[in-house]
């Protein structure tokens, strides 16, 4: 089992460019999440999905879009990157039911110049 | 509103010292879950423990122990005889009302020196 994987691991973008971060999990989890981590801010939820074809906004959704076309994949898109989106992005997944622990990917470090 | 507060931003200790990381939460739910995660310098997030609101028994796992007190809305984490490998950022988290997501505290950075 690879668990939760994220692609790419690092990326540098220029302001205004677009990109998509890919999260994949092989644990057949229903729930998937995208967080961003900034110094002194902890982890903040961007968007999440409770199943294939569903998405919902989290705490800081502005400037991001997501899609969950397949159960195992959760895509995070930045249509027009801004320096404020420089961050480390983490994807996570978990099974449905109780608030079970989330399993995290290794993170993607994104720098927007 | 639900909230998790980790008031200690950074803690520095010397090896073999005991250290307690504080976590205070706010929720109006009667049923809820609390979590601790560890983020070592390598960056990944590692699950440590989950505790539900009906189980106030303290838990011990090796050098780690957790003290859950509903009366003070706290879920504190103690490392006994700390080691350099314990150096990490530790996050406390609470499930949201719908049970669909976690609300994280801002984390406590623990530095253990030899």
Q: Would you say A8 and A105 are in contact if contact means Cβ atoms under 8 Å apart?
A: no
Among A42, A95, A109, the strongest candidate for a mutation testing the B interface, having the largest count of B CBs within 10 A, is A42
Q: What pLDDT is attached to residue A10?
A: 96
In chain A, the residue whose alpha carbon lies closest to the alpha carbon of B10 is A40
Q: Flag if A48 and B100 touch (Cβ within 8 Å).
A: yes
Q: What pLDDT is attached to residue A75?
A: 98
The pLDDT profile of chain A, 113 residues, written as one tens digit per residue, is 789 999 999 999 999 999 999 999 999 999 999 999 998 889 999 999 999 999 999 999 999 999 999 999 999 999 999 999 999 999 999 998 877 889 999 999 999 99
Q: What pLDDT is attached to residue B95?
A: 92
Residue window 36-55, chain A: list those with CB within 8 Å of chain B: 40-45, 48, 50
Q: What pLDDT is attached to residue A77?
A: 97
The pLDDT profile of chain B, 114 residues, written as one tens digit per residue, is 899 999 999 999 999 999 999 999 999 998 999 999 999 999 999 999 999 998 888 888 899 999 999 999 999 999 999 999 999 999 999 998 888 889 999 999 999 999
Is A2 within 8 Å of chain B by CB?
A: no
Angstrom distance (rounded) from CA A19 to CA A21: 7
Cβ pairs A/B, distance under 8 A: 49
Q: What pLDDT is attached to residue A15?
A: 97
In percent, how much of chain A has pLDDT > 90?
89
């Amino acid at each position: 089992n690879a668990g939760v994987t994220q692609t790419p691991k690092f990326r540098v973008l220029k302001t205004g460019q677009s990109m998509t971060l890919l999260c994949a999990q092989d644990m057949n989890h229903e729930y998937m999440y995208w967080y961003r981590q900034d110094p002194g801010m902890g982890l903040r939820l961007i968007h999440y999905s409770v199943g294939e074809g569903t998405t919902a906004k989290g705490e800081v959704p502005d400037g991001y879009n997501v899609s969950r076309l397949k159960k195992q994949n959760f895509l995070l898109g930045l249509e027009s990157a801004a320096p404020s989106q420089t961050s480390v992005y983490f994807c996570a997944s978990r099974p449905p039911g109780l608030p079970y622990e989330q399993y995290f990917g290794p993170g993607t470090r994104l720098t927007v110049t | 509103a639900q909230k998790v507060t980790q008031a200690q931003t950074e803690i520095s200790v010397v090896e073999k010292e005991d250290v307690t990381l504080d976590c205070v939460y706010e929720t109006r739910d009667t049923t809820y879950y609390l979590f601790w995660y560890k983020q070592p310098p390598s960056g990944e997030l590692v699950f440590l423990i989950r505790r539900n609101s009906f189980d106030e028994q303290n838990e011990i796992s090796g050098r780690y122990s957790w003290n859950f007190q509903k009366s003070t809305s706290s879920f504190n984490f103690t490392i006994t005889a700390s080691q350099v490998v314990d150096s990490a950022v530790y996050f406390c988290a609470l499930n949201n009302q719908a049970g669909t997501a976690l609300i994280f505290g801002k984390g406590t950075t623990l530095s253990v020196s030899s």
